[in-house]
């Protein structure tokens, strides 16, 4: 029945588009649902007759919202501009469970956003089934009316893989457009450079006489860690340092100590010189990589608690200077030390980045990104949305400099002022609280109706071009040294169709996932190897994982590798890595 409803709405949409085309040169005309509209003076935004809509944010954890979402100053200005008011709802349950409940109960808002990471698992699978059942609205016939929304579908904003596999999933037999991807980059400048790397406490290179920028190989790292262990350093309380290297919660960042073994590849599937294919875990390089970690553990150079400790434990170790080397990101180090004020009491201990390290092929580590996002949060419209034109107009308007400034910065003279370049900047008293970590700055923004809708609506990000900063107060909150490190370890975008996109087409992929990936059995093997009494025993455990890959579940993993290799020539833009074009290995 819902499939028939979807077809009816599809026909209605086409009729409405035809009507708009006839009336585009005139002011006024028929609206859809409970409102009327007219073109503004620039022939762009329609002004509706006080349309009220609901927007649900399907992200577990609830939302902080203004006490009055309808009559706050920002909502009032938006209503004065386009005649649309939107009320936001949050949820307090698992996202997949909520989506299942919403589609089963048919309890829909006018629009909602939710995780849509691609493929067919989790939330994505639920949403794709809802599309197949006719429960979501096809916005395709309306896109020509909304130039800002059209930008959300450009390749580079989203990847070719995301567009073909998910936005235009072949299972959508109507050929419609049901997914509006959000939180996507408008250019490389709008991709977050996370500042990954390995960092050393600043007094260590000063005492040992080396330049941290010159440490680029695993051999050099091993040398300086041994020297640091034998030197005798102290934490901020004057206690001897017992931990040389560590990472953050549950082992996050241990790979920062192993970057010299990185292939910087899109996929662990890789070609061999004889024309066959293998998996990175089956190579000698993988064994050598984890034997290096065995050496760090067994020489007392690595924090053995760090494979499983909590974030609080990691913050305590890093923040008190008990750790001399740490990963994985510039901001995690800074946040930990900020909790204790270590940089104020012991400025000589400020962590500094090493390298960047060279990868397995001798190239400096960078942050590789796809050419456009391959999955994202996304906005959807139920089949019975009350006023699709008003909803799309609202979203289109909030993706202009004027609209996004309103929902991000609030009201000029109240919550923001302009700098010499005409860009919005938080008022000094609000910025001061933000930089001091005083969360009341957020309440001051909410009082005018700002800084709660912005993350739910923007796409094809242009905030740096428009506002000169990624979010309100970000310019003043820049971590000292972070931009310099980002320049040394830049973002590099790679176009193409990653070979891993063919995984789901393997006829026994569920067996592969259940046997070798679910629960991360590889982690169990390698961590047992790290604590082996000898290097020979460690190697035996690591090679045991490789034997399991070859023989487990009747050799299905080897069949999987052969299948993946056969996909390499299925289309000319298939890439696997490493390198910029991804089609040249060593």
Q: What is the pLDDT of residue 476?
A: 75
384 in the same domain as 330: no
Residue with tokens 């700055």: 441
379-420 tens-digit pLDDT: 999 999 999 999 999 999 999 999 999 999 999 999 999 999
316 in the same domain as 392: no
Q: Does position 46 have pLDDT exceeding 90, yes or no?
A: no
- Looking at the domain assignment, is residue 523 inside a domain? yes
230 in the same domain as 177: no
Please give the C-alpha separations between residue 467 and each of 328, 454, 462, 470, in angstroms, as whole numbers: 29, 14, 8, 8
- Looking at the domain assignment, is residue 139 inside a domain? yes
148 in the same domain as 98: yes
Higher pLDDT, 580 or 231: 231
Which CATH number is 238's domain given?
Answer: 3.40.190.10
217 in the same domain as 164: no
Question: Where does a domain end: 337, 363, 389?
Answer: 363
Provide the β-strand partners of residue 373. 158
Q: What is the pLDDT of residue 102?
A: 98
Beta strand extents in 174-295 (DSSP E only) = 180-181, 199-201, 245-246, 269-271, 277-279
573, 495 Cβ separation under 8 angstroms? yes
Residue with tokens 């002011």: 27
Of 119-128, 167-176, 258-267, 288-297, highest mean pLDDT: 288-297
27 in the same domain as 145: yes
- Looking at the domain assignment, is residue 547 inside a domain? yes
165 in the same domain as 43: yes
- Looking at the domain assignment, is residue 408 inside a domain? no
- Average pLDDT on 313-329 reads 95
Predicted confidence band of residue 367 (pLDDT cuts 50, 70, 90) = very high
- Looking at the domain assignment, is residue 137 inside a domain? yes
Domain that holds residue 39: 2-182+378-397
Number of structural domains found in the chain: 3
- Average pLDDT on 414-443 reads 94
- Looking at the domain assignment, is residue 454 inside a domain? no
Q: What is the pLDDT of residue 370?
A: 87
% of the chain beyond a pLDDT of 90: 75
246 in the same domain as 139: no
Q: What is the pLDDT of residue 21?
A: 35
248 in the same domain as 277: yes
Instruction: Give pTM, 2 decimals.
Output: 0.75
- Looking at the domain assignment, is residue 478 inside a domain? no
222 in the same domain as 139: no
475-523 tens-digit pLDDT: 877 788 999 999 999 999 888 888 988 988 899 998 998 999 988 899 9
- Looking at the domain assignment, is residue 472 inside a domain? no
My answer on whether omega of the bond before 328 falls inside 30° of 0, hence cis, is yes
Which of 428, 414, 421, 439 minimizes the C-alpha distance to 473?
428
Q: What is the pLDDT of residue 249?
A: 86
Which CATH number is 138's domain given?
Answer: 3.40.190
55-94 tens-digit pLDDT: 999 999 878 899 999 999 999 999 999 999 999 999 999 9
168 in the same domain as 34: yes
233 in the same domain as 158: no
248-282 tens-digit pLDDT: 988 889 999 999 999 998 889 999 999 899 999 99
């Amino acid at each position: 029945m819902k499939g028939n409803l979807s077809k009816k709405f599809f026909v209605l949409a086409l009729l409405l588009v035809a009507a708009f085309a006839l009336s585009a040169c005139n002011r006024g005309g028929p609206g859809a649902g409970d409102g009327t509209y007219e073109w503004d003076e620039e022939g762009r935004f329609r002004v509706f007759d006080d349309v009220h809509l609901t927007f649900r944010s399907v992200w577990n954890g609830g939302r902080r919202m203004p006490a009055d979402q309808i009559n706050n100053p920002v909502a009032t200005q938006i209503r004065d501009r386009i005649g649309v008011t939107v009320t936001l709802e949050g949820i307090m349950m698992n996202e997949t469970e909520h989506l299942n409940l919403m589609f089963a109960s048919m309890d829909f808002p006018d629009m909602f956003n939710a995780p849509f990471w691609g493929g067919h698992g989790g939330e994505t699978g639920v949403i794709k089934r809802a599309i197949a059942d006719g429960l979501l609205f096809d916005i395709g016939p309306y896109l020509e009316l909304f130039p800002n929304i059209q930008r959300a579908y450009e390749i580079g904003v989203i990847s070719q893989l995301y567009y073909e596999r998910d936005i235009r999933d072949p299972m959508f037999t109507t050929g419609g457009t049901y997914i509006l991807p959000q939180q996507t980059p408008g250019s490389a400048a709008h991709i977050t450079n996370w500042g990954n790397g390995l960092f050393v406490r600043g007094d260590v290179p000063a005492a040992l006489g080396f330049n941290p920028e010159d440490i680029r190989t695993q051999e050099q790292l091993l040398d300086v860690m041994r020297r640091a262990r034998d030197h005798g350093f102290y934490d901020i309380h004057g206690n001897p340092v017992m931990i040389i290297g560590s990472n953050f919660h549950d082992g996050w960042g241990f790979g920062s100590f192993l970057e010299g073994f990185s292939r910087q590849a899109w996929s662990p599937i890789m070609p061999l010189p004889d024309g066959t294919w293998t998996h990175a875990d089956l190579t000698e390089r993988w064994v050598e990589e984890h034997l290096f970690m065995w050496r760090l553990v067994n020489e007392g150079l690595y924090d053995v608690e760090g494979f499983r400790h909590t974030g609080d434990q990691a913050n305590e170790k890093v923040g008190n200077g008990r750790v001399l080397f740490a990963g994985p990101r510039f901001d995690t180090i800074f946040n930990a030390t900020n909790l204790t004020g270590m940089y104020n009491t012991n400025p000589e201990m400020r962590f500094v980045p090493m390298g960047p390290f060279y990868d397995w092929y001798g190239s400096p580590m960078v942050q590789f990104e796809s050419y456009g996002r391959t999955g994202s949060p996304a906005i959807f419209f139920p089949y019975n949305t009350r006023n699709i034109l008003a909803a799309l107009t609202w979203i289109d308007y909030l993706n202009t400099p004027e609209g996004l400034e309103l929902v991000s910065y609030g009201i000029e003279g109240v919550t923001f002022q302009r700098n010499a370049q005409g860009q919005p900047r938080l008022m000094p008293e609000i910025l001061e609280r933000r930089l001091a970590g005083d969360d009341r700055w957020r309440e001051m923004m909410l009082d005018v109706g700002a800084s709660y809708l912005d993350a739910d609506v923007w796409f094809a990000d242009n905030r740096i071009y428009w506002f000169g900063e990624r979010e309100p107060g970000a310019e003043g909150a820049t971590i000292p040294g972070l931009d310099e490190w980002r320049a040394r370890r830049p973002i590099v975008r790679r176009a193409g169709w990653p070979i891993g996109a063919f995984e789901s087409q393997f006829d026994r992929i569920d067996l592969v996932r259940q046997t070798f990936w679910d629960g991360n059995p590889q982690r169990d093997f390698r961590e047992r190897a790290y604590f082996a009494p000898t290097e020979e025993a460690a190697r035996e455990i690591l090679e045991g994982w490789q034997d399991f890959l070859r023989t487990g579940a009747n050799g299905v993993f080897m069949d999987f590798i052969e299948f993946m290799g056969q996909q390499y020539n299925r289309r000319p833009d298939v890439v696997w890595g490493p390198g910029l074009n991804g089609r040249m290995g060593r």
